[in-house]
Amino acid sequence: MRPRPLIVLGLVPLALVAAGCGARSSAPYTATGTAKCLTSKGFTGVTTNPAKVGFIAGFADNGGVFAVAPGSKNTVTIAFAGDTAGAGPTEQAFRAHASAFYKKHMSDIMQSKRNAVLVWTTSPTQDQIDTAVGCLAS
């Protein structure tokens, strides 16, 4: 039995909608989209003010965020490059401007996801990482 053309055509839009479900956006993360989530997850002192997020994050294409992790004194600075390709140069900038103490620990305190580069004061806990990365938003 051959499929009826109208039934097949009716299934095409349904298949397209289903394929889109769960698909992640590739839009760059931004400071504004991320800051609200960090606040809602208990981070304190959350700011996107360029004068308060530090030099590198303050001049990042999609802004920067500074926040203090819940229940700790561990701070995170997130610089949002213009796109994923900009994360590498942003990491290099953080390394180049880090003090000698922090340069030794960059592999412990810095990570990136897409266009976001996160730099912590001290080695973050897995929960701190998961929460901060989970808050990255466009």
pLDDT tens for 59-108 read: 999 999 999 999 999 999 999 999 999 999 999 999 999 999 999 999 99
Sequence letter at residue 49: N
Helical (H) or strand (E) element with 10 = helix 5-20
In a domain, 89, yes or no: yes
Q: With contact defined as beta carbons under 8 Å apart, do 29 and 115 qualify?
A: yes
In a domain, 102, yes or no: yes
In a domain, 70, yes or no: yes
pTM of the model: 0.82
Residue 10 has pLDDT above 80, yes or no: no
Residue span of the structural domain in which 113 resides: 26-134
In a domain, 12, yes or no: no
In a domain, 76, yes or no: yes
In a domain, 7, yes or no: no
CA distance linking residue 2 with residue 60, whole number of Å: 57
Query: How far from the centroid of its chain's Cα atoms is residue 3's Cα?
Result: 46
**Tokens standing for residue 4:** 């009826």
Picking from 99, 54, 113, the residue whose alpha carbon sits closest to that of residue 65 is: 54
Structural domains counted in the chain: 1
Q: CA separation (Å) from 76 to 12, 13, 113, 127?
A: 45, 43, 14, 13
In a domain, 3, yes or no: no
